[in-house]
Amino acid sequence: MPDYSRLVKAAMALRAEAPVGWSEFVLALREHAATSTSEILRVQPDMLLKAQGMAIMATELSSVINDAPKLYEKMQERKHG
């Protein structure tokens, strides 16, 4: 798995600055990932691999952003533990 520590730190800073905007963003990103995944069923065969890759990345980013608070906590425990 790639190192998402910088993304997690930036996500937590954004969450602290704008909690309502953060919640809306996380929800929108989850919806986007779900839509990307379901679009694979309707894509033209020559675009299948690209659509699959985009869906995988959208899902992975959505998971990291959604789990950012837990991931950040673990990062802090490692740093201070």
| Domain residue ranges of the chain, discontinuous segments joined by + | 5-80
**pTM attached to this predicted model:** 0.84
Those residues with Cβ within 8 angstroms of residue 43's Cβ, 6 or more apart along the chain or in another chain? 51
Token representation of residue 67: 């789990």
pLDDT for 1 beyond 70: no
Residue 45 CA, chain-centre distance (Å), reads 26
Per-residue pLDDT tens digits for 16-74: 999 999 999 999 999 999 999 999 999 999 999 999 999 999 999 999 999 999 999 99
Q: What is the CA radius of gyration of the chain?
A: 15
